[in-house]
Amino acid sequence: MERTTTNSRQPTSAGLSLDETARNAALKRRHFVRLAGWALAVALVGCVAETPQHDLVVDRGHADVDAAQSDILQLTQSELVEQTPSPDAGLRPHTIREDDLTPDNYRDMSLGEAVQHALTKTKVLRDLGGALLRSPDLVATKFLPPSVASDPRFGIESALSEFDPRFTASGDFEKNHRAFNNIFFGGGTRLFKQDLNVYQAQISKTAATGSQFFVRNFTDYNANNAPGNEFPSAWNSNFEMEVRQPLLQGAGVDFNRIAGPKATPGMINGVVIARVSAKISQADFEMGLRDFVSNVMNAYWDLYFAYRDLDAKIKARDKSFHTWQKIQALARDSQLVGSDRQALAEEQYFRFHEEVENSLSGKQFDGTRTFSGTTGGTFRGQGGVHVAERRLRLLIGFPITDPKLIRPSDEPGLAELIFDYDSSVVEALGRRPELRRQRLKTERREMELVATKSFLKPQLDAMGLYRFRGFGRDLAGGSGNGQFNSAWGNLATGNFQEWQLGFQLDVPIGFRRAHAAVHAAELNLARERAVLFEQERQVIHDLSNSLAEADRAYAVCQTNLNRYRAAKNLVRALEARAQNAKQTADLLDKLLDAHRRLTDAESRYFLARTEYEVALKNVYFEKGAIFEYYDLKIADALADDQAKPAAPVEAGV
């Protein structure tokens, strides 16, 4: 891209700019101070290792994504424990007091490089609206999906842990010494003394069908002074297996995978629900990443237009300066030009000089950003190289201040693109992350309704237990060949076995809580379906606007191109006619007006070109294809088949 590198402060006979020698001396002093500061920092601090950068999970699309390396749920240990680096704020920002527009003061950057730098140098998806300071808890980061998936209350692993085997054990030790009024209660004595130890161990497991399995051991040691004892002390050791199977409420694989084995009305968080919630967080992350990439592109084209606008105003300022000099020469050599026309030429020069200063430095107006006017961002065209350049640096993760200014090297497209409306609508409805998130929320509500209807059934559980008993003087081993020498030996013989079957029924009269839960689930499902319907209408509306805007921007771009050519031809014709003093005096008003027209036409032309480029970007934004258009990929940490229930569920309102 051809750039004008004329100094923003044009020297004049009135001495309006810094002297060249003084300016060079000031620059040398500034560089010397910087070098001295750097040398002092190295001397005091020493060599400091560079903080490692951690990339977002975005691939450029030319190689296969390794799922093991690109899983967004896997964060390196250094990311979790590293200290946040301090921002680089040691350099003075560029202002209009400095000589910025020199050939060595630029760093040319393409749009692809800007997006790549932005994605590889951020963990927080930055925005341009100040939300990071106002509402930091609402700002999306790369840690959002893994934090939701690993939530200890509602995450996937938390839901899966309800089906993990559980081992429990206990030991109780008692020393009893009591008196009984009745000798029968003391085992033949009224003064009862006892040493009692009780040991319990159990392994339990809940199955996906809701069945509960228990394998437990109960062992006790009992030493007392009852006269009727066979042994002064004895051991009992029991080994038992128990099964509890729900038959109505809480039964079945669908309920337990959706609601979890410990679900209650209103507290539905099974494995399937947790996975859907993780997919919703993935969609939220994709939305934040899409908005972030769109903002980087918006800031890039804002900076492009700022340079083009500055170029136009510098050329207009230079032309008006030469015209002013010519008028001053005519006034000195002849009486063809009066003082009023000299003042007019001088006023025009200072007007353009003011515009150059504003175009170079810029004012703190809102730039182009997502959800400002349109979802993809309506192009603002505010101008201001320094402001737009710092805004781009903020987004892509560069130091906010730097000796070299970033300068866009890409040009907006000029080719006309015509989109098929029907296919664009189908693509938008199928790919927009907002709709995918809402469909996931609707699916979650459908599954919650299916699980909640189970609470309308009575709780009827079937139970079965089988037990082996062992009794002996000692716990293991023991002397002699008696049947009760050791409890474990007696247990191994299997001589003492017991079993138990039964059922348990629990029926809340009226099922008031269950009916309320079902009604609430139906209302939640109806709401999500209504929101989905309106979101689809909104997406179609925004897509229609973006397609119409692309056509408008292209037509206006062509019109402004013709206007720009006409303005250039007008200036050339007037300058060709103004070859002698008399003609220059007669054409002065027209020439000054032609310079203003040319400046405005050139600025409006590049404004229209940038508007067309942003409008095309917004079309792909509305279609949900902005990543594919710019050759980006997002590695999905959860496979699609993992987020779906094992069996189809149906629900109705």
Query: Which tens digit of pLDDT belongs to each residue from 609-641?
Result: 999 999 999 999 999 888 887 777 776 655 444
Q: Which residues pair with 633 in a beta bridge?
A: 59
Q: Considering only residues 187 and 457, tell me which one the structure prediction assigns the higher pLDDT.
A: 457
What is the reported pLDDT for 347? Answer: 83
3-state secondary structure at position 524? helix
Distance CA 82, CA 75 (A): 12
Q: For residue 474, tell me if it sits in a domain.
A: no
Q: By mean pLDDT, which of 192-206, 424-438, 467-481 is the weakest? A: 467-481
Tell me whether residue 251 is in a domain: no
Helix 385-396, helix 271-333: angle, nearest 10? 160
Q: How many domains does the chain have?
A: 1
Could you report the per-residue pLDDT of 451-486, keeping only the tens digit for each?
A: 999 999 999 999 999 999 999 988 887 666 678 888
pLDDT at res. 67: 35
The confidence score (pLDDT) of residue 16 equals 33
Residue 250 backbone class (left: φ over 0; alpha: ψ -120 to 50; beta: rest): left
- 186: in domain: no
pLDDT in tens, 108-140: 999 988 888 888 878 887 776 666 666 676 777
What b-and-e string marks burial along 390-407, b requiring 16 or more CB atoms within 10 Å of the CB? bbbbbbbbbeeebeebbb
Q: Read off the CATH number of the domain in which 355 is found.
A: 1.20.1600
Assess whether pLDDT exceeds 50 at residue 647: no
Local structure of residue 85 (DSSP, 8 states): P
Model pLDDT, residue 22: 40
Share of the chain above pLDDT 90, in %: 35
Among the residue ranges 26-35, 294-303, 344-353, 461-470, the one predicted with the least confidence is 26-35
> Is residue 58 predicted with pLDDT exceeding 50?
no
pLDDT at residue 86, rounded to an integer: 53
| CA distances to 384, 395, 409 from 398, in Å | 19, 8, 17
Check: CB of residue 467 under 8 Å from CB of residue 240.
yes
The pTM assigned to this predicted structure is: 0.74
Q: Is the pLDDT assigned to residue 155 strictly greater than 70?
A: yes
Residue 283 lies inside a defined structural domain of this protein: yes
Q: Which two tokens stand for residue 375?
A: 């979802």
Closest CA to 448 of 266, 301, 307: 266
Q: How confident is the model at residue 96 (pLDDT cuts 50, 70, 90)?
A: low
The DSSP result for 313-374, as a single string, is HHHHHHHHHHHHHHHHHHHHH-SSS-HHHHHHHHHHHHHHHHHHHHHHH------S-TTBSB
Residue 206 lies in a domain: no
Q: Assess if residue 57 is contained within a domain.
A: yes
pLDDT at 89: 54
Q: What is the pLDDT of residue 36?
A: 36
pLDDT at position 17 over 50: no
Strand partners, 197: 173, 221
Q: What's the pLDDT score for residue 422?
A: 93
For CA atoms 515, 519, 522, 528, the dihedral sign is: negative
Question: In this predicted structure, what is the pLDDT of residue 393?
Answer: 87
For residue 597, what are the domain limits?
20-145+278-420+529-643
**Which H or E run contains 30?**
helix 20-45
What pLDDT, on a 0 to 100 scale, did the predictor assign at position 90? 55
pLDDT mean over 394-402: 83
pLDDT top residue among 30 and 320: 320
pLDDT tens, residue by residue, 237-293? 999 999 999 999 989 899 999 988 888 888 888 999 999 999 998 888 888 888 888
Is 61 a member of any domain? yes
Query: Is residue 407 predicted with pLDDT exceeding 80?
Result: yes
Is residue 212 one of the residues assigned to a domain?
Answer: no
Compute the distance between CA of residue 471 and CA of residue 649 in angstroms, rounded to an integer. 53
Within 8 A by CB and 6+ apart from 15, the residues are none
Q: How confident is the model at residue 181 (pLDDT cuts 50, 70, 90)?
A: confident
Kindly tell me the burial class for residue 21, based on how many C-beta atoms sit within 10 Å of its own C-beta (0-12, 13-18, 19 or more).
exposed
What would the pLDDT profile of 491-528 be if each residue is shown by its tens digit?
988 899 999 999 999 999 989 999 999 999 999 999 99
- Average of per-residue pLDDT values in the chain: 78
- The pLDDT assigned to 555 comes to 94
Paired tokens of 357: 């200063």
Output the pLDDT for position 370.
75
| d(C-alpha 578, C-alpha 3), whole Å | 28
Element (H, E) at 112: helix 111-120
